[in-house]
Homo-oligomer: A and B are copies of this chain.
Amino acid sequence: MSSTPRLYVTQDLAAGAAFALDDAQSNYLLRVLRLGPGGPVRVFNGRDGEWDARIGDVQGKRAQLEPEIQVRPQPDVPASAPILLFAPVKKAETDFIVEKATELGAARICPVLTERTQTRTVRLDRFSKIALEAAEQTERLDLPEVAELQPLAAALDALADGTRIIFCDERGDDTDAPWGGESGRAGPMAEVLASLAEAPVAILIGPEGGFTPEERDWLRGRGDTQPVSLGPRILRAETAAVAALSVWQALKGDWR
């Protein structure tokens, strides 16, 4: 873990092009970390890569920041970066999902309403702040997009054409049908991923209590879903989200 503070900024980054940090970031560097002029900072803005920078003039409560040298270019977002669709659960667990999805490289984080979703309002500004802080900490060079809460069907319809939906079906191995068919059992995640052609992917995690039988039938009847099982134990929603993103990155994503 680097000990140099790492900040996301909105300003353009170029050598020698100093700019003023906002009050919160200035306070963090000057008061919390007790840095002064010349202090080292790393910055990224999601466009211009990562820069070594130094604190410049301090006027009142606000510090100038001077980018010096680009240490990493801005990478393309990997085509394999998954979208996460999840039903919000309790506050701490939902915050956790947003933080971990950012660490695990999700391109977009989409809360969705399902029939059993308990939480019917989410605070987009809160999610954005959590994602920003996680991106700073995890050394991402971009921020995940955080979407408004929307009904499941609308969220699926809004996906790009050709997106495969990895539908994590908590009770997927309960039915008698052989897996793989539209109404059949969910296959082991590793086995299903191995059989998938390269395509944009969205991972769908249900709420506490799972999807209703009607939702499961509807999901399985769509041509773009692939039910997968996450093993013999019942996972909490936040565990399932982290587990599915991890297995995806290990097998099809940027951990390879």
Contacts of A230 in B (CB 8 A): 246, 255
Closest to A116 in B: B1
Which of A32-40, A175-183, A188-196 forms contacts with chain B?
A188-196
Q: Quick check: A231 and B247 within 8 Å, CB to CB?
A: no
A138 and B235 form a contact (CB under 8 A):
yes
A208, closest chain B residue (CB) = B1
Query: What's the Cα separation between A256 and B188 when bound, in Å?
Result: 5
Q: Cβ of A255 and Cβ of B236 under 8 Å apart?
A: no
Query: Within 8 Å CB of A231, what residues of B?
Result: 105, 249-250, 253-255
* A-side interface residues, number (CB < 8 Å): 38
A136 to chain B, nearest CB (A): 10
* A interface residue numbers (CB < 8 A to B): 1, 100, 103-105, 137-140, 170, 188-191, 208-210, 229-236, 239, 242-244, 246-247, 249-251, 253-256
Contacts A100-B239, A239-B104: A232 and B246 contacting too (C-beta < 8 A)?
no
Asked whether, in the complex, the Cβ of A235 is within 8 Å of the Cβ of B103, the reply is: yes
B100 touches A234 (CB 8 A): no
- Nearest-neighbour CB distance to chain B for A132, whole angstroms, equals 15
Q: Do A1 and B210 touch (CB < 8 A)?
A: yes
Closest chain B residue to A251 by CB distance? Answer: B190
Q: How far is the CB of A107 from chain B (nearest CB, A)?
A: 13
Known A100-B242, A244-B246; 16 more pairs at CB < 8 Å: A1-B234, A104-B239, A105-B233, A137-B234, A138-B233, A138-B236, A139-B234, A140-B233, A188-B255, A190-B250, A230-B246, A231-B249, A242-B242, A242-B243, A243-B249, A247-B247
